[in-house]
Amino acid sequence: MPRGKRAPKRVITPDPVYKSELLTKFINFVMLDGKKSTAQRAVYGALEILAEKKKGDALKTFEAAIEAVRPQVEVRSRRVGGANYQVPMPVSGYRQNTLAFRWIIAATRARKGNSMKEKLSSELLDILEGVGGSIKKKEDVHRMADANKAFAHFARFRR
């Protein structure tokens, strides 16, 4: 059992350009060493490139890409009778976003390329086409959950 109270969720102000809370959270994930303006430049640049290539609303395209990467199930370790089992469990909405952001940014940073905005835009385009590092990560997580379906009955037990 955790001690104390759960930390309250902070209110996040929507980003100044697209007025989207989801985009603000993504920018905060991209940010390194508190350099928010640098992160904003990279993300907005990537969205501009995305809008040019997809000939549509950049925010809608971004949201579609995030939706494509969100995992539905994941495996969690559960100790039962001296053995650890990988138990498949549904993922909460907040954690779905967190994992999607984490995977997209990791795949973007792992890419070879010039600037962050170019790498991010090409990763988002790959996601929309159903390929790319973050889509592969999501499929791996889903495959792992599927392989461990036999242990799903352990998900119900709580101490």
State residue 125 phi and psi, 5-degree precision: -65, -40
Domain assignment present for residue 127? The answer is yes
What is d(CA 95, CA 74) in angstroms, rounded to the nearest whole number?
A: 10
Q: Domain holding 33: CATH number?
A: 1.10.455.10
Across all residues in the chain, what is the average pLDDT? 91
Is 12 within a domain?
Answer: no
Give how far Cα 30 sits from Cα of 33, 53, 98, 99, Å: 10, 22, 12, 13
Token pair 């102000």 in the structure block, residue: 13
38-66 residue pLDDT tens: 999 999 999 999 999 988 899 999 999 99
DSSP 4: S
Count the domains in the chain: 1
72 is in which domain, residue-wise? 21-156
Mean pLDDT of 137-144: 94
Identify the burial level of 82 via C-beta atoms within 10 angstroms of its C-beta, where 0-12 means exposed, 13-18 middle and 19 or more buried: exposed
